[in-house]
Amino acid sequence: SQTIHQWPATLVQPVGSPLSLECTVEGTSNPNLYWYRQAAGRGLQLLFYSVGIGQISSEVPQNLSASRPQDRQFILSSKKLLLSDSGFYLCAWQAGGSYNNEQFFGPGTRLTVL
């Protein structure tokens, strides 16, 4: 069966500090991978998605970036965090080869920028 991991689970960072969130998937090959952000009381906002190693599509212009160095690893980064970057960051995977299949979420990382 497939599992998806994210770490860290929680993070408190000062404004202007760097960020690195990691997501890994087990039990599947060549998945589509996604980064979402959920602000308090709001819906999910798609940040980035990837259909393969080194292939990143950005949905929202911002100070965040994403990378996919390995098939089942997806990393979200920032060089300098803003207060507005606070939120619940969710990684999701979807079976590769189809854009209409279900997406499954990891446990998430709750980021607070002070």
Q: Which residues bind another protein (CB under 8 A)?
A: 32, 34, 41-44, 46, 49, 88, 90, 99-108, 110
CB of 60 to another protein, least distance (A): 13
Q: How far apart are CA 111 and CA 114, in angstroms?
A: 10
42, two tokens: 């709001």
CB-based contacts of 94, cutoff 8 Å, min separation 6: 31, 32, 33, 34, 101, 102, 103, 104
CB of 80 to another protein, least distance (A): 27
State which residue, 46 or 56, has the beta carbon closest to another protein: 46
Q: How far apart are CA 38 and CA 55, in angstroms?
A: 23
State which residue, 2 or 17, has the beta carbon closest to another protein: 2
State which residue, 24 or 32, has the beta carbon closest to another protein: 32
CB of 51 to another protein, least distance (A): 8
Q: How do 109-113 and 87-94 pair as beta strands?
A: antiparallel
